[in-house]
Structure 1
Amino acid sequence: MRVSEFFYDLPEELIAQEPLQDRKQSRLMVVDRKTGEIEHRIFKDIIEYLNTGDCLVLNDTRVIPARLLGEKEDTGGKIEFVLLKNTGGDIWEVILKPGRRAKPGSRFVFGNGELKAEIIDVVEEGNRLVRFEYEGVFEQILDRVGIMPLPPYITKKLEDKERYQTVYSKHKGSAAAPTAGLHFTTELLEKIKEKGIEIAYVTLHVGLGTFRPVKVENILEHKMHSEYYNLKEEDCNKINNTRKNGGKIIAVGTTSCRVIETIGDEFGALKPQSGWTDIFIYPGYNFKVVDKLITNFHLPESTLLMLVSALAGRDTIMKAYNEAVNEKYRFFSFGDAMFIK
């Protein structure tokens, strides 16, 4: 299967640069994966498509201000770090620019010396392992000196950092938001619970590999980035019991989908666990747990577009995307939503 089969033309003006004032007022395209029928609704209408006894699976990760602007300790040369993942203690894997200044042993300072870093190794794809030095609590220092790492296609400054967080975000660790969840408000989630729909949480810390282009023409040759996940026993039981009782599992976002598809056995049963996943879902994949999916509109030729095509069928998805362009939907992280039922 070729990457070019997942290309579509997107006018630049349809890339959403800022979130809507009211999260739940985003548009919602509803796609029936059996018939290909498309409906145009508002996101708050999602409750009409969820039934008593179903289970909504949300990713409760929280984005950290992972972008650090600093300078080389000895020369004052400018540097930019983006934190990818914590590999243990104060050691992080980072993307940095410009990379040529960052050989092992190189030292950098951030926030007037409040945070320092030393390069200890060069790893895959030119990323670096760095050891941070500081006094106090790392997360508090990061909140002071770090910047929210918005996707590269968003060029407008975000005035309110919380708009790049879901209302249920809890566990810090992501370099990007699980954006399908940005449409939910606390009130909408309460109404969903009142209707008798179970809500379960998984944690997957989203890495910047989410935005990394597929550089090979044959998608089978693409290597996925790995991301840390966790599923607790209470939430695991909710999902398993829903399946046992005949309810549907609705993943909110490709991240939630990837977690439960990673964990599910051949019968779709889950066990509480944590670990790293590099699962790559593309057309031909047999879904074990997920029945339906709430998602945003994804970049052309991206692994996320391949995942939604695996659930609904490539032809159905490409038709839906072309209709979304014609109907002037808002695309990507701050854009509108799709429900695949």
Structure 2
Amino acid sequence: MRCFHSPLHRGHAGTHEIYRGELVPCFEKPERADFVLQAFQRAGLGEVSAPEDHGLAPIERIHAPRYLAFLARVWDAWAAQGGTRDLLPAVWPTRGFRDDIEPDNLVAQLGLYSFDSGSPITAGTWTAALAGAHCALTAQAAVAQGARAAFSLARPPGHHAGTDFYGGYCFLNHAAIAAQAFVDGGAARVALLDVDYHHGNGTQQIFYQRSDVLFQSIHGDPRTEYPFYLGHADETGAGTGLGFNANYPLPAGSDNTRWFEALEAACRRIVAHGAEALVVSLGVDTFEGDPISRFHLRTPEFKRLGARLAALGLPTVFVLEGGYAVAEIGDNVVSVLAGFEGG
């Protein structure tokens, strides 16, 4: 399996976030990707290559130009004001406020384009996120050119990022960008499956009114689990996208039998969709030892996940998402990929 990775991810190295009302060290850290890379190489799964530069055009197919311009300039604007610490928002335009006018105030801009206070922007955030998007696009290109599967090993993750907002440690939605690249390359039907513990709210928002990309997410019930305000079972799409969005919210603490039942239901829908390609938002924070999640998958069960996805027989792009048990993340991710290769 081809793996695409850029060391530029290390430029996004937040020092702190606000978690449950407290300022804590960031859970999303450079070591996450480092451990995955080491495990991938140790397992001998395939070649690791740098991504190609695909420019901004395929990224603009998913994200609004105004939002991309903000991400590209925000740190330099902060530094010009004498700022040196990580940027976190403090105010948001909730219901009744206007969001069509971009404020001149930098703090207000942060709130306009974000939805939480857990996603610090650092000096290297834009460069890292951009490199991650190129990893996903290069993985998609490899699969479109005939590879059975490819892996985008990048961070920060992406599935919480929407058309014009960031949050949940995510700034550019790499999985959505890869899915769009399949569509732009001629695929009439693409499936995007999110197996992260947290609902892929950004991906849902991007494709909610479309029928060419079937989005499905297996995740913790949003009544108690982040991101809270999206991911319920009755969210099935809108307009031409009605019926092409499926959520499988599971109560925190659900056993593995229930999780794999949801996976099976999702796989059946992928087959019924007639998908020509599959993009997997590969979060492994479903692991029993994850510090901010409450499912119980163990490392061997991730191999079962990979084998089931392989049985779909689709050209597949894996995109790294969450997983915050840092010491185990490499083994868990590689277990999925090895299961896919073996399957």
With the length of structure 2 as denominator, give the TM-score of the two structures. Answer: 0.31
Max Rg structure:
1
Bigger proportion of residues as helix: 2
- Structure with bigger RCO (C-alpha 8 Å, 6+ apart): 1
With the length of structure 1 as denominator, give the TM-score of the two structures. Answer: 0.31
Bigger proportion of residues as strand: 1
